[in-house]
Amino acid sequence: MVMRRILLALAVGCAAAEDGLNAWLRYAPLPCSLSRHHSLPESIIALNSTTTSPVYSAGQELHKGLLGIFGKNLTVSTSLPSGKPPSKAVVVGTVAAFGKSSGVGHDVASALEPDGFWLEVKGSMVTIVGQNERGALYGAFQYLSLLARADFSDVAFVSNPAAPVRWTNEWDNLDGSIEHQYGGPGIWFQGGHVVDDLTRAGQYARLLSSVGINAVIVNNVNADANILTDANMQGLGRLADAFRPYGVQLGIALNFASPQSIGGLSTFDPLDPGVIQFWTDITDKLYQHVPDLAGYLVKANSEGQPGPLTYNRTLADGANLFARPLQAHGGVLMFRAFVYNNNLNESDWKADRANAAVQFFDGLDGKFEENVVVQVKYGPIDFQVREPTSPLFAHLSRTNAAIELEVAQEYLGQQCHLVYLAPLWKTVLDFDLRVDGRPSLVRDIVTGRRFKRPLGGFAGVANVGTHPTWLGSHLATANLYAFGRLAWDPSQTAEGLLDEWVVLTFGHDRHLRSTLSQMALESWPMYENYTGNLGIQTLTDILYTHYGPNPASMDNNGWGQWTRADAHGIGMDRTVSNGTGFAGQYPPEVAAMYESLHTVPDELLLWFHHVPYTQRLRTTGETVIQHFYNAHYAGAETAATFPARWASLRGKVDSDRYDAVLRRLIYQAGHAIVWRDAINEFYRNKSSIEDERGRVGHHPWRVEAEDMTLAGGYSVVDVTPFETASGFRAVVATKNGSAATATTTLRFPDGTYDLVVGYFDQANGRSRWAAYLNDKLVGSWVGDGEDWLSHEHSTHLDGHSATRVRFPGVKVRKGDVLRVEGTPDGGEMAPLDYVALLPDGVID
Ligand code: GCU
């Protein structure tokens, strides 16, 4: 009995509640079966006593890690004992600090590149040598990662980063909000200034550094010129201080028009001497506050932002304006390639936003200063679920380039849907552009290898916030982890990185490891299945929240994310022979592959070609429209398996994280059905072609709210977009303060069902609903997604607010009366879409 209690306590101890703040840096105790090891260091020597030094942080981190994982409370000293070199110690420092006497040979030193490290584990003697201070810290994190993953092998290797630019971009506004904020408000700005308490900023730098990220652009690319006020420069100085112990440098995004808006000049022309002087002075001043400023990020002439084109200057003139003053300080200028006209005319068959980057940068290759890096989004449009690699990478052989990835899941479920992004990123990084007929992987272009460029790398839009999970969801941190690790070494696999993250974040249990990894690996293809297929883009609402389905929003506007769907066909003709010519922006071998319907990969068919809905896919033989239907059903079916698969991990994950993840996966499974039905209905309506399997538009187990007996003020409304409501209509209450009811007599055979209710959860109220069977309460719920779901919320009935609740195992007899009572709150009028009684195995 006593033994059982001890075992129970141990089990509970292993799964102690966690809030996610430490993400993958938990240093959780190893399970007993794995912690049997023979040799661990018995002291820590970090060869730097300055508390702001990353080497000092390495010592602290090693202490924390060895204590957490093994319960070993080791002393940390900051110098090598004189005389005998220590045995049974972990020694960490820079090449310079180790000096000649330490036995670290010339070979090691000469093999190291900036930020690189040497890690040698020989039993209990561990040597970590950084080329520079942060390299030493990276080595310490690497050693701790091995230990936390129960890897006790003797090793001796050099690890150098693939590229010098490994930055996150944070789209924080000075008022504390974040553009595309899914993890709460930002952690360093509030009310126009840098906050006093920068604890979270330091903790974030620690996380970033553990995966090799070396700089953060701290403000929105749509930049506020007030970042440059004296008070803010001082604040940035404090922020940089908070980052510095982790080797993370600070950078800022600039507003091109600052000379005019805050500098009192009449112009922001990049060739104007006054403007040049303005930026020189600003830069010199900033470096007084932040002596190790990483550099600037500039978004110019894009989505209403000012830029050099206003003055008929080139983008290179614009970039060089900032790059030159930065040179004196060793800073880097990241210049975004996301330049396009958002007032395109869709009636022009040749107009194409995808063409913009290559066109705008045409003739500029080689015209940028050496410290300019052109930052290119992975695809030619905007972080869609599937895009071909941006062709601009093939056009910058004499210019430094970086790839921009988006960790924040802006168009990919906003952290409310599990979507592990590394497989998507790998399709781009591993893509061979065949420049000059030679192997030209995107990853080799951005790391500078292919064209022998000195600079280049990776920018990841992270948008972390005050939520303890940083990104708003525990599972989303896999994407931040993978981003950093790929920036260090883009040849790593999405699967390998995921396994590391799972073990570090949740533990070693084999079932847990395989279950969670499998779910995550299925998640991007699944998401693509239930959103936009065959390269048509995500099909989310591009004019509003970028979250739920709204395919109609893609067309009939100037944004150029067109699908050109009509009654007969769908897709953008981007061929050279008959379309916008975009395919021709790729080097010949790639261009030829995309140009022809016989060779274009199915997953990009509609990106490159406008085809009839009856066009057959090369791989499966399905028609385009039938593929849409099938994929959407398959995607929603996969999502429906996630809650139960996660539930099989109960007891293997602490209850706080277990519950939080489960709640989201249940939500995702429901929203996947919203997506499925919306997209299928939309294209069935457009094409007038029925699903050959008879599923679309047929929901035998549903009762539409509009067909129920309504009382207490419920009335029927048409929903816009129509496809986001089952049967295209819903009911809303008309009287605030009292409950409205929708009642139906069930005609289904006697049996046990899952009761599902489709409803709308708007941001402008917290309505309450309750479902009764023969006057007996089955369940009740509140429309409070705005309090716990991280996505951008809507105040309308649409694909963002549409959602479902599920009550399993309800016994029903034919003739039973089901009543749903809705009590409105605020502007949310208890909207109700349908009820469904689902027999076992039916997903609808
Ligand atoms: C997207 C995003 C904007 C952002 C822009 C950018 O369009 O929705 O909020 O400013 O990309 O990357 O500049």
Of 695, 714, 729, the domain-final residue? 695
Is 2's pLDDT higher than 50? no
Same domain? For 800 and 690 the reply is no
**pLDDT above 70 covers what percent of the chain?**
97
**pLDDT above 90 covers what percent of the chain?**
94
Pairwise CA distance, residues 557 & 554, whole Å: 7
Same domain? For 463 and 526 the reply is no
In a domain? residue 595: no
pTM of the model: 0.97
In a domain? residue 55: yes
Locate the ligand 1 atom nearest the alpha carbon of residue 179 and give its number. 9
pLDDT digits over 181-196, tens only? Answer: 999 999 999 999 999 9
Same domain? For 360 and 460 the reply is yes
Q: Does the CB atom of residue 338 touch ligand 1 within 6 A? A: yes
Residue 284 annotated among the catalytic residues of the structure: no
Q: How many domains does the chain have?
A: 4
Give residue for tokens 């553009």.
Answer: 179
Give residue for tokens 């070199």.
Answer: 85
Determine the distance separating the centroid of ligand 1 and the alpha carbon of 582, expressed in angstroms: 22
Is 14's pLDDT higher than 50? no
Pairwise CA distance, residues 256 & 771, whole Å: 56
Is residue 106 very low, low, confident or very high in pLDDT (cuts 50, 70, 90)? low
pLDDT digits over 497-506, tens only? Answer: 999 999 999 9
The answer to whether residues 677 and 811 touch, using CB atoms and an 8 Å cutoff, is no
Residue 382 annotated among the catalytic residues of the structure: yes
Determine the distance separating the centroid of ligand 1 and the alpha carbon of 296, expressed in angstroms: 17
Of 159, 176, 193, the domain-final residue? 159
Q: Does the CB atom of residue 467 touch ligand 1 within 6 A? A: no
**What is the domain range of residue 747?**
702-838
| Span 742-771, average pLDDT | 98
Pairwise CA distance, residues 746 & 749, whole Å: 9
Residue bearing the CA closest to ligand 1, atom 3: 179
Catalytic site residue from 113, 179, 292, 303: 303
Task: Locate the DSSP E strands across 424-501.
Answer: 457-461
Same domain? For 270 and 290 the reply is yes
State the CATH number of the domain containing residue 790.
2.60.120.260
Q: What is the pLDDT of residue 83?
A: 61
Is 801's pLDDT higher than 60? yes
In a domain? residue 578: no
For 60-86, b/e burial (b = at least 16 CB within 10 A) is bbbbebbebbbeeebebbbebeeeeeb
pLDDT digits over 210-264, tens only? Answer: 999 999 999 999 999 999 999 999 999 999 999 999 999 999 999 999 999 999 9
Is 101's pLDDT higher than 90? no
Residue 42 annotated among the catalytic residues of the structure: no
Is 392's pLDDT higher than 80? yes
Q: What is the pLDDT of residue 689?
A: 98
pLDDT digits over 431-454, tens only? Answer: 999 999 999 999 999 999 999 999
Which residues, in sequence order, are CB contacts of 808 under 8 Å at separation 6+? Answer: 754
Q: What is the CA radius of gyration of the chain?
A: 28
Same domain? For 322 and 467 the reply is yes
In a domain? residue 602: no
In a domain? residue 605: no
Same domain? For 105 and 247 the reply is no
Q: Does the CB atom of residue 541 touch ligand 1 within 6 A? A: no
| Span 761-774, average pLDDT | 98
Helix (H, G, I), strand (E, B) or coil at 373: strand
Same domain? For 428 and 361 the reply is yes
The answer to whether residues 69 and 30 touch, using CB atoms and an 8 Å cutoff, is yes
pLDDT digits over 147-173, tens only? Answer: 999 999 999 999 999 999 999 999 999
State the CATH number of the domain containing residue 480.
3.20.20.80
Is 7's pLDDT higher than 50? no
Phi, psi of 631 (to 5 degrees): -65, -40
Same domain? For 500 and 514 the reply is no
> Token pair for residue 13?
């101890």
Pairwise CA distance, residues 105 & 95, whole Å: 9
Residue bearing the CA closest to ligand 1, atom 7: 382
In a domain? residue 512: yes
Q: Which amino acid is at 625?
A: I
pLDDT digits over 248-307, tens only? Answer: 999 999 999 999 999 999 999 999 999 999 999 999 999 999 999 999 999 999 999 999
For 262, half-sphere exposure in the C-beta direction (CA atoms, 13 angstrom radius) is: 15
Which residues, in sequence order, are CB contacts of 478 under 8 Å at separation 6+? Answer: 420, 422, 498, 501, 502, 505, 520
Locate the ligand 1 atom nearest the alpha carbon of residue 299 and give its number. 13
State the CATH number of the domain containing residue 534.
3.90.1330.10
In a domain? residue 368: yes
Q: What is the pLDDT of residue 17?
A: 74
Same domain? For 108 and 183 the reply is no
> Token pair for residue 261?
């808006």
| Span 379-388, average pLDDT | 98
Of 129, 159, 189, the domain-final residue? 159
DSSP string, 56-68: HHHHHHHHHHHHH
Catalytic site residue from 170, 317, 352, 410: 410
Q: Does the CB atom of residue 299 touch ligand 1 within 6 A? A: yes
Same domain? For 318 and 336 the reply is yes
Locate the ligand 1 atom nearest the alpha carbon of residue 410 and give its number. 8
Q: Does the CB atom of residue 221 touch ligand 1 within 6 A? A: yes
Q: Which amino acid is at 796?
A: H
Same domain? For 516 and 488 the reply is no
Determine the distance separating the centroid of ligand 1 and the alpha carbon of 795, expressed in angstroms: 22
State the CATH number of the domain containing residue 80.
3.30.379.10
Q: Does the CB atom of residue 342 touch ligand 1 within 6 A? A: no
Is 1's pLDDT higher than 60? no
In a domain? residue 773: yes
Q: What is the pLDDT of residue 103?
A: 60
For 514, half-sphere exposure in the C-beta direction (CA atoms, 13 angstrom radius) is: 2
Same domain? For 343 and 299 the reply is yes
pLDDT digits over 642-669, tens only? Answer: 999 999 999 999 999 999 999 999 999 9
Higher pLDDT, 105 or 639: 639
